[in-house]
Structure 1
Amino acid sequence: MIFFCFLGIEEVKAKELNQEEIYQQRMNLYKKTEALTSIPWYYLAAVDQFERSIRDVRDDLPDPPAIIGYYLPPEQWAGPLNPNPQDTNPITIELFSGVGKDGNGDGKIEQTNEEDLLYTLAHFLRSYGVDDQSFRLALWDYYKRDQTVRSIMTNAKIYRTFGKVDLREKAFPLPKGYNYTYKNTWGDRRGWGGRRIHEGTDIFAGYGTPVRAIAYGVVELKGWNKYGGWRVGIRDVNNTYHYYAHLNGFSKDLKIGDVVKPGDVIGSVGSSGYGPPGTSGKFPPHLHFGMYKDNGIREWSFDPFPHLKIWERY
């Protein structure tokens, strides 16, 4: 009776954690694992956040728990030939070539234990080294997908720059005080350059209206596209790609690889596109804002309009 009551209390406590406490617990675990293994906390956070982001949007993976999102299949954790996929015995897990490790010294290797999970991840990364080049190589050997490597390296760069994991802050793409209008046009037909759908929301505003980054992220793309004109692409820690198109120009010194935060000005509203570099004026000035989600296998567009309505209130 006492045992089951205790479990119930622990479940309630876990459910009662607010978002700030969850972020604090994550950071505490990252820092503790860093102290044990010398793997920088932002590498651990980068992989963990990527795993959390893909588990949120995939049906073939279990939903992530509150604190740590890193996931390994049971057959990999306990060993491919282990008759007990839920095995917690370090001796038999090693015997069957399982990758799970005991991170808290309790003599058990538990896939649901956050310290064991992070220690297992750190043990793998440490076999390659503790610098960016070694980290990138480890990611490639593990995921074997260029975009996944780029996404995780983006996470690491953002976490290292800002020194925190609570990066929920957002900003509307246009500053307060400027006149603008927009409606939900995602999925509408587009004819120029062939039949295609509109993968974004058009925010109409005057020439030169500042365009801002909506989230913490890294500039992944900058330049000309015959459809989008002068455009910028920024990826955030949720593995969401933000696409800003038809710009009048870019902010001074903005370049690929730059780290940005919500509210940073990245360019201005224009009417560029629908032709070779420099083409402008074929439509009223507006910002085309698109959002794309990557699930570790493929990337697709989704409707940004509901998000814009929320960010507009900030």
Structure 2
Amino acid sequence: MLRWMFRLLLLGAAGLAIYWVYDMSQGTEIPDMNVPGDLAAAYAEAEAEVGVPWPYLAAWHENGDGYESLDRRQILASAEEMRKAAGKGRLTDRDAERALHSLIPEADAEQVIALARSYRWAASPLAESYLFPFDADQNVDYGDTWGDSRTYGGSRPHEGTDLFAAKGTPIRSVSDGRIVSKGWNELGGWRLTIMDDEYPQISFYYAHLERYAEEIQTGTKVKKGQIIGYVGDSGYGPEGTTGQFAPHLHFGVYVRESTWSPMREAINPYAFLRAWEAAQADGKEG
């Protein structure tokens, strides 16, 4: 009996090892999130309402003349062009790929599709029913602070977006998910990391909290819109340090190259926030 149990354990371990190797081999390159914030809502609209997958539109534009001269009207016109090429009203990712092969040269199409697939892996929440981390009646100010220089703890680029609000302002979870880390971090102060339920390769990071909401613990499941903590100014020192900067939420997005990869890479959250805030203003929150 013990011999059979041992064999089953060995088979299980071997199976897990094989799956891990397979998963790592399927890894996706994490893209730079180059979609401009002022266009994010238009790309989200193209997918949610027009029916054209936004990663393929964005990748088409990014691989062509870039985003500089684009506006909402042109983005939606490109979406209509893809629908016409596909001969369908609403396109799957596969439909979008076939449309691109018919619209642009083969070599260009392959480059666009590769970028689009990486956006689909790393940035799908842009066009889905995620929430802005603050209620509409909160006074919140933010800009694109990605890559700004930071010097505390050594010279480093900023890996997130800072959203300034009054100390104690409630912070909402942008998604359904599970808390995978909680506690003090010298740079982030009181912080939380929540792994997304829908896309477990994606984690959302909330830092510099004043305090946590009740019943927030590592391993806890949270629902989209649930209050998880409150804006603070904690961090940049030993546990309990406050007052080193103006109160704000540091919001980060981290993505794994494959489902079980131990490594995470930060991408710019600004376009996500702009799209989710626009949906909130239009009354389209999920």
Aligning the two structures, in what range does the TM-score lie when normalised by the shorter sequence? 0.5 to 0.7
What does residue range 69-108 of structure 1 map to in structure 2 within 5 Å?
none
1:214 equivalenced with 2:179 (yes/no): no
Q: Offset at 1:238? A: 4.5
Q: Specify the alignment match of 1:142 in structure 2.
A: 19
CA 1:278–1:136 in structure 2 vs 1: closer, same or farther (change >3 Å)?
A: farther
Quick check: which has more Rg, 1 or 2? 1
Q: Deviations over 1:236-262 (max 9, x none)?
A: 125111110000010111111111121
Q: Specify the alignment match of 2:143 in structure 1.
A: 183
Q: Offset at 1:137? A: 8.5
Q: Deviations over 1:57-107 (max 9, x none)?
A: xxxxxxxxxxxxxxxxxxxxxxxxxxxxxxxxxxxxxxxxxxxxxxxxxxx
1:308 equivalenced with 2:273 (yes/no): yes
How far, CA to CA, are the matches of 2:265 and 2:250 in structure 1? 17
How far, CA to CA, are the matches of 1:254 and 1:135 in structure 2? 34
1:200 equivalenced with 2:160 (yes/no): yes
Q: Offset at 1:140? A: 4.9
What secondary structure, in the 3-state scheme, does the structure 2 residue paired with 1:268 have? strand
CA 1:252–1:190 in structure 2 vs 1: closer, same or farther (change >3 Å)?
A: same
What does residue range 37-52 of structure 1 map to in structure 2 within 5 Å?
none
Residue 230 of structure 2 aligns with an amino acid whose one-letter code is S
What does residue range 195-274 of structure 1 map to in structure 2 within 5 Å?
195-236=155-196, 237-274=199-236
Residue 211 of structure 1 aligns with an amino acid whose one-letter code is I
Residue 272 of structure 1 aligns with an amino acid whose one-letter code is S
What secondary structure, in the 3-state scheme, does the structure 2 residue paired with 1:283 have? coil
Q: Specify the alignment match of 1:75 in structure 2.
A: none
What does residue range 5-44 of structure 1 map to in structure 2 within 5 Å?
none
How far, CA to CA, are the matches of 2:20 and 2:146 in structure 1? 32
Query: Structure 2 length as normaliser, TM-score?
Result: 0.53
Residue 213 of structure 1 aligns with an amino acid whose one-letter code is S
What secondary structure, in the 3-state scheme, does the structure 2 residue paired with 1:292 have? strand
CA contact (8 A) 1:169 1:262 kept: no
CA contact (8 A) 1:140 1:146 kept: no
Q: Which has the higher contact order (CA 8 A, sep 6+)?
A: 2
User: Unaligned 5+ residue runs, structure 2?
Assistant: 6-10, 25-127, 279-285
Query: Structure 1 length as normaliser, TM-score?
Result: 0.48
Q: Deviations over 1:246-295 (max 9, x none)?
A: 00010111111111121111100000000001000110100000111111
Q: Offset at 1:135? A: 8.8
What secondary structure, in the 3-state scheme, does the structure 2 residue paired with 1:233 have? strand
Query: What is the percentage of aligned positions where both structures have the same residue?
Result: 43
How far, CA to CA, are the matches of 1:253 and 1:170 in structure 2? 22
CA 1:282–1:170 in structure 2 vs 1: closer, same or farther (change >3 Å)?
A: same
Q: Offset at 1:169? A: 2.6
User: Unaligned 5+ residue runs, structure 1?
Assistant: 1-127, 129-133, 148-167
CA 1:145–1:202 in structure 2 vs 1: closer, same or farther (change >3 Å)?
A: farther
